[in-house]
Amino acid sequence: MKEAVEKLKSMDVGKVIENEPLANHTTMKIGGPADLFIEPSSIENLEKTMKVINEYGIKWRAIGRGSNLLVSDKGIEGAVIKLGKGLDHLSINGTELTVGAGYSLVSLSVQISKQGLSGLEFASGIPGSVGGAVYMNAGAHGSDISNILKKAHILFEDGTIDWLDKEQMKFSYRTSILQNDRPGIVLEAVFDLKEGNKQDIVAQMQNNKNYRKETQPYNLPCAGSIFRNPLPNYAGRLVEDAGLKGHTIGGAKISEMHGNFIVNAGDGKAEDVLALIQHVKDTVFERYGIHIETEVEIIGRK
């Protein structure tokens, strides 16, 4: 690992830090250290980084803005690659957007609304990055990324790069091919939007934003929705009906605003969140005979 670190630093690929706490890079403010933390300053430097990682056989994973993630208190073995500055470009050509993986989804939806482009209104309150949104087919308010994605530029774990169109991404509810069959890093995405009425677009975005503000605890450290909806049921409603709102284990608490959110109520640990997740699963199954699965991605040493 030490040789790899020195090589990456000498190549000036971007930030290269050892033992960086992931609590500094997740919206839940939870997570132990990554053995190696890298924030490449460009797509080209990300390619160089992956070559070194493969050369030295280092385990790796990519993160964006750290939403939808629960990182172990023991941290992450190997390298964590953060897609941020340097991969946050945006170009607009008519109704087509080409966006870097590090671009904020909220900022993007605001930016394109000013252009009178419709299709991203659903994303106005999703606190993630474009890359993470494509990776997990993020969605809200009856829409998701699969409805607007034309193609995605992917760096695969073997170092090869290719464009995958919407069909090749194999999108389903909160999943894509990148989580299962072909692990890789989203470099950029091309979205196909539509021309719309600017006032209507802004009004819809404001409505979505107000709804989230009134019903979801984004003023506290959280990871977004914890559980997948076991349709036709909704996880939040099941948790609420089971009387679990406000239930606390250690520093983790089920939000009193929304049953599908667990917040870091102060000095929360991943072990607290995991215990609370298991308690919810057990309670919902005992009461309703329904298995609920996590939507949040749980990563790191066990």
Supply the residues annotated as catalytic: 174, 225, 295
Are 70 and 28 a contacting pair, CB within 8 Å? yes
**Region of residue 288 (left: phi > 0; alpha: psi -120 to 50; beta: else):** alpha
Q: How far apart are CA 132 and CA 56, in angstroms?
A: 26
Among the listed residues 272, 250, 277, the one whose alpha carbon sits nearest the alpha carbon of residue 261: 277
**For 55, how many CA atoms within 13 A lie in the half-sphere containing its CB?**
12
Cα within 13 Å of Cα(137), Cβ side: 20
- Tokens 């989230």, residue located: 212
For residue 213, how many other CB atoms are within 10 A of its CB?
13
Name residues whose C-beta falls within 8 Å of residue 239's C-beta, 6 or more positions apart in sequence.
Answer: 227, 245, 254, 259, 260, 280, 284
Q: Which residues is 69 bridged to in the sheet?
A: 297
Reply yes or no: is the peptide bond before residue 232 cis, omega within 30 of 0: yes
**Dihedral sign from CA coordinates of 43, 45, 50, 51:** positive
13 secondary structure, DSSP code: -
In b/e form, how buried is each residue of 169-180, taking b as 16+ CB within 10 angstroms?
Answer: bbbeebbbbbee
Identify the three-state secondary structure at position 145: helix
> CA 148, CA 119: separation in Å to the nearest integer?
7
Tokens found for residue 297: 């991605």
